[in-house]
């Protein structure tokens, strides 16, 4: 398990660097919503590692522009932060299905929605943020799940990057 975590941590560090193009925007929305920049960026990095590879991006974009109703009906998580349309609609209550998909495909609006979701959670600590973001609940029974443990540990690793500046 330690070797697997080290592997993911190396990927995390690579993707952290690759996502530098969004740093100014992430900093702005983290300040706007009073969220720790390193937690927000860690979540973005982990979601990119998990599912935002070239193939998934291509499929998401194809579905979003050709048959967006499939994404809405199936409630697929899409975009850089892997947000479900139903979750995004809780943040933007008045927007229609076609427009919510277009917002989620755009990395900047996807990050903004992610930040707003985290802000509205009113979570008190990193574990609660991760639990709420991944499961929609603060139920600690999920803390035993290995993927939740990896997510929390990688977020903790991301927070240590603030010591590097």
* pLDDT of residue 165 exceeding 60: no
* pLDDT of residue 23 exceeding 60: yes
Structure tokens belonging to residue 161 = 């990057």
What is the Cα–Cα distance from 111 to 94, expressed in whole angstroms?
19
What is the Cα–Cα distance from 60 to 68, expressed in whole angstroms?
9
What is the tally of structural domains in the chain? 1
What pTM does this model have?
0.88
**C-alpha dihedral over 125, 105, 100, 139, to 10 degrees?**
-20
Give the mean pLDDT of the chain: 88
| Interval 13-25 mean pLDDT | 95
User: How many H helices and E strands in the chain?
Assistant: 10, 0
pLDDT band at 132 (very low <50, low <70, confident <90, very high): confident
Look up the domain containing 73 and give its range.
2-164
**CATH code where residue 65 lies:** 1.10.530
pLDDT above 90 covers a percentage of the chain that reads 42
């Amino acid at each position: 398990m330690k070797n697997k975590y080290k592997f993911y941590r190396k990927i995390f560090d690579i993707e952290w660097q690759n996502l530098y193009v969004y740093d100014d925007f992430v900093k702005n929305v983290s300040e706007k919503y009073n969220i720790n920049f390193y937690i927000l960026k860690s979540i973005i990095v982990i979601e990119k590692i998990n599912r935002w590879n070239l193939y998934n991006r291509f499929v998401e974009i194809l579905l979003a522009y050709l048959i967006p109703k499939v994404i809405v009906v199936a409630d697929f998580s899409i975009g850089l932060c892997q947000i479900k349309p139903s979750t995004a609609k809780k943040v933007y209550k008045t927007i229609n299905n076609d427009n919510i998909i277009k917002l989620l495909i755009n990395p900047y609006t996807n990050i903004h929605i992610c930040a707003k979701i985290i802000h509205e959670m009113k979570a008190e600590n990193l574990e609660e943020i991760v639990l709420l973001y991944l499961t929609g609940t603060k139920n600690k029974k999920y803390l035993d799940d290995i993927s939740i443990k990896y997510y929390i540990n990688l977020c903790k690793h991301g927070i240590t990057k603030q010591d590097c500046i």
